[in-house]
Amino acid sequence: MSSDHAKTVIPARTHILSVQTLVVVWVILCALAIGNLFIAKLNLGHASVFIELAVAVIMAVISALYFMHLRYDSLFSVAILLLTLTLITLFISLILIDVAADQPQMYSGEAQEMVQIEQHVAGSNSTPPVAVKPVMPAPAK
């Protein structure tokens, strides 16, 4: 009875990618990374962030599909991947909305003073236009 069990072979769902496929995927990922660098150098304003994030998501999906073999896996794995990408998009969107809402406040008050001090220090060695407040009190002696 145990010998019948030992002879039972369960076919494994294996897939071996060819070296050519892996090299093509690697070249595509390298091209996207270089393209992302060029996009970062362009002055596209706020659109560059969204374009760079889109390229990064495309690179992540390609990496997951081929190097993690999700392309050949079950539909459940694809559903988990899509759910994960949806949640990541939601979280990044919430962060960008928060940053956009706080943008006017970023350069008000003390931040403007720091910018003025940095500009003044870069221009000359005289006293700064505003008094510099120490961030931490001096240690007691």
Mean pLDDT of 3-13: 61
User: Who's near 85: CB < 8 A, 6+ residues apart?
Assistant: 57, 61
pLDDT above 90 (res 32): yes
Domain count, the chain: 1
User: Who's near 117: CB < 8 A, 6+ residues apart?
Assistant: 128, 129, 130, 132
pLDDT, one tens digit per residue, over 80-134 is 878 988 999 899 989 888 877 766 655 555 666 776 777 777 765 555 555 555 5
Does residue 47 belong to any structural domain of this protein? yes
Does residue 112 belong to any structural domain of this protein? no
pLDDT at site 55? 92
Tokens of 45: 């304003």
pLDDT at site 111? 63
Residue range(s) defining the domain that contains residue 50: 17-103
Does residue 31 belong to any structural domain of this protein? yes
Give the mean pLDDT of the chain.
Answer: 77
pLDDT above 90 (res 30): yes
Does residue 3 belong to any structural domain of this protein? no
End-to-end CA gap in the chain: 85
What CA–CA distance (Å, rounded) separates 35 from 55? 8
Does residue 140 belong to any structural domain of this protein? no
Does residue 90 belong to any structural domain of this protein? yes
What CA–CA distance (Å, rounded) separates 121 from 7? 81
pLDDT at site 112? 65
Burial of residue 96, with CB atoms counted within 10 A of its CB: 0-12 exposed, 13-18 middle, 19 or more buried = middle
pLDDT above 70 (res 60): yes
pLDDT at site 3? 58
The secondary structure of residue 43, as a DSSP letter, is -
Mean pLDDT of 39-55: 86
pLDDT above 60 (res 31): yes
Share of the chain above pLDDT 90, in %: 18
